[in-house]
Amino acid sequence: MSDALARPARASRPRGVSHAKESFAAYVFLLPALCFFSVFVVYPMLRGMYLSFFKLAGRRMTFVGLKNYVDLANDPVFWRSLGNTLLLVVGNVPIVIVFSLFVAATIFRKRPFTRSLLRGVFYLPAVSSVVSITVVWSWIYHPRYGVLNYLISRAGAEPVAWLGDPRFALAAVLVVMTTLSVGQPIILYVASLGNSPESYVEAAEIDGASPWQRFRHIVWPLLMPTTLYIVIITTINSFQVFAIIQLLTSGGPAYATTTLMYQIYERAFQIGDFGQSSALGVILAVIIVAISVVQYRYFKSDVEY
């Protein structure tokens, strides 16, 4: 449909010269974007897949077939990082959905000023500076000088090495990650609540539906496309989280918080194994694409009831 709208009406003018001119103009308009796109996205993307079949030592490249992948499959650190990544994703996505839906539903009927203000508050961590937020959290979590341990000791609990204890480190990372993830979902939910037809909700209210019933049977289905989009972007973003890990724990203690993304960095830039790092990049990309496709299928079937 949009294609039909977008196609210029050309009945009133002769084909030929002006058509060629229009095509030429279109290519000129596209040229700069296409140049950047092919040099800095398409070429590296293909090159990344290619590199994953090589061993790189200094300037020497040796073809090793699937060795990089096989080595990874036999590497417990790889499986650990995959497990941690999945835990972070599985932890983050539902929290983001529930929390942002709660915030959006609570603020969307408020006055525009209050609404923008609150929306801004929850977006602040993500837009301000991820590094700043991470640095302040590393202070909050500090076993001796951190506010968190002070507060729990006041409540009578023992101090905890939040980032140094393998039992807590991943959860501590997840909390920071969550605060950085809800901004965009809240904006989307507020917009989509504003677009959903009031009349359905009111009709249900008159029919005596409880707030929960109204939500479960009317609002939630109406929000489904938005929820799908939020699930997909939050999943993708959770897979790619890096700065938080590097600055809070560097993947430690004892690989308790290492992730695929962090392994890509560590293997390339600390160990110097670019081939294996490329293979990890390919694996991560395949996982993300596969999950997005599955989520899309699943939610789509849920929307078209």
**Segment near other proteins (CB under 8 A), from 18-26, 79-87, 162-170, 251-259?**
18-26
229 is an interface residue for other proteins by CB under 8 A = yes
Q: Given the complex with other proteins, which of 87 and 140 has the nearer CB atom?
A: 140
Using CA atoms, how far residue 241 sits from 29, 237, 258, in Å, is 35, 6, 11
**Cα(246)–Cα(266) distance, rounded to whole angstroms?**
10
Q: How far is the CB of 224 from other proteins (least distance, A)?
A: 13
157 is an interface residue for other proteins by CB under 8 A = no
Q: How far is the CB of 254 from other proteins (least distance, A)?
A: 21
**Phi, psi of 13, rounded to the nearest 5 degrees:** -135, 155
Q: Given the complex with other proteins, which of 22 and 302 has the nearer CB atom?
A: 22
Residues in region 44-73 near other proteins by CB under 8 A: 44-45, 47-49, 51
Sequence length of the chain is: 305
**Cα(68)–Cα(75) distance, rounded to whole angstroms?**
11
**Cα(101)–Cα(238) distance, rounded to whole angstroms?**
18
Q: Given the complex with other proteins, which of 132 and 213 has the nearer CB atom?
A: 132
Segments in the chain forming alpha helices (H): 2-6, 17-37, 43-51, 67-73, 76-107, 112-127, 130-140, 147-154, 169-181, 183-195, 198-206, 211-214, 220-239, 243-248, 260-265, 274-303
**Cα(253)–Cα(247) distance, rounded to whole angstroms?**
13
Q: How far is the CB of 206 from other proteins (least distance, A)?
A: 11
Residues in region 163-222 near other proteins by CB under 8 A: 179, 184, 187-188, 190-192, 211
41 is an interface residue for other proteins by CB under 8 A = yes
Residues in region 20-39 near other proteins by CB under 8 A: 21-23, 25-30, 32-34, 36-39
**Cα(281)–Cα(234) distance, rounded to whole angstroms?**
19
Q: Given the complex with other proteins, which of 103 and 173 has the nearer CB atom?
A: 103
Of the residues 73, 136, 271, 290, which one makes contact with other proteins according to CB under 8 A: 136
Of the residues 144, 155, 156, 158, which one makes contact with other proteins according to CB under 8 A: 144
Contact (Cβ atoms closer than 8 angstroms) between residue 201 and residue 208:
no
**Segment near other proteins (CB under 8 A), from 63-71, 89-97, 137-145, 166-174?**
137-145
224 is an interface residue for other proteins by CB under 8 A = no
Q: How far is the CB of 181 from other proteins (least distance, A)?
A: 12
The overall longest dimension of the chain from CA atoms, in Å, is 85
The 3-state secondary structure of 36-101 reads HHHHHHHHHHHHHHHHCCEEEECCEEEECCCHHHHHHHCCHHHHHHHHHHHHHHHHHHHHHHHHHH
Residues in region 258-287 near other proteins by CB under 8 A: 261, 264-265, 268-269, 274, 277-278, 280-282, 284-285
155 is an interface residue for other proteins by CB under 8 A = no
Of the residues 88, 93, 101, 119, which one makes contact with other proteins according to CB under 8 A: 119
